[in-house]
Amino acid sequence: MDLPRGNQTNTSARIPWVRALLVATALLAAATVRADLPPPKPPLPSQSNPPSLVQPADCIIGQTCYIQNYVDADPGPAARDFRCNPLSYDGHKGTDFAVPTLADMARDVAVLAAAPGRVRGVRDGMEDGAYLNDPNSVKEVECGNGLAIEHGHGWETQYCHLRKGSLLVKPGQEVTSGTPLGLIGQSGLAEFPHVHFALRFQGKPVDPYNPDRRDACAQPPEQTLWTGTPPAYIPGGVLLAGFAQRSPKLDVIGAGGGAAETLPPDSPQISLWGYLFGVRAGDEVVIEFAGPDNIYHKRTNKIDRNIAILSRFSAKRRAGPAWPTGAYTGRVTLMRNGQSLDYKTATTFISP
Q: Per residue in 288-319, pLDDT tens?
A: 999 999 999 999 999 999 999 999 999 999 99
Where do the DSSP E strands lie in the chain? 66-69, 95-98, 110-112, 117-123, 145-152, 155-162, 174-175, 180-183, 194-201, 204-205, 237-244, 262-263, 269-279, 284-291, 295-302, 307-317, 326-336, 339-350
Q: Which CATH superfamily is domain 47-205 in?
A: Glucose Permease (Domain IIA) (2.70.70.10)
Q: Which residue has the higher pLDDT, 346 or 11?
A: 346
Least confident segment among 36-40, 206-210, 263-267, 335-339: 36-40
Q: Are 208 and 95 in contact (CB under 8 A)?
A: yes
259 pLDDT exceeds 50?
yes
Q: Which residue has the higher pLDDT, 205 or 221?
A: 205
Each residue of 168-199: pLDDT tens digit? 999 999 999 999 999 999 999 999 999 999 99
In the chain, the amino acid numbered 263 is L
For CATH 2.70.70.10, list the domain ranges present in the chain: 47-205
Each residue of 66-111: pLDDT tens digit? 999 999 999 899 999 999 999 999 999 999 999 999 999 999 999 9
Pure H helices in 122-183: 130-133
- pLDDT at residue number 37: 60
Closest CA to 265 of 216, 189, 208, 320: 320
Each residue of 53-68: pLDDT tens digit? 999 999 999 999 999 9
- pLDDT at residue number 12: 44
9 pLDDT exceeds 80?
no
Q: Read off the DSSP letter of residue 62.
A: T
Each residue of 127-151: pLDDT tens digit? 999 999 999 999 999 999 999 999 9
For CATH 2.60.40, list the domain ranges present in the chain: 237-350
Q: Are 164 and 127 in contact (CB under 8 A)?
A: yes
Can you tell me the distance from the alpha carbon of 300 to that of 284, in angstroms, rounded to the nearest whole number? 6
Phi and psi (nearest 5°) for 311? Answer: -125, 145
Can you tell me the distance from the alpha carbon of 196 to that of 193, in angstroms, rounded to the nearest whole number? 10
Determine the topology of domain 237-350 in CATH. Immunoglobulin-like (2.60.40)
10 pLDDT exceeds 80?
no
48 pLDDT exceeds 90?
no
Each residue of 313-323: pLDDT tens digit? 999 999 999 99
Q: How confident is the model at residue 33 (pLDDT cuts 50, 70, 90)?
A: very low
31 pLDDT exceeds 90?
no
Q: Are 201 and 154 in contact (CB under 8 A)?
A: yes
Count Cβ atoms within 10 A of the Cβ of residue 170 and give its class: 0-12 exposed, 13-18 middle, 19 or more buried: exposed
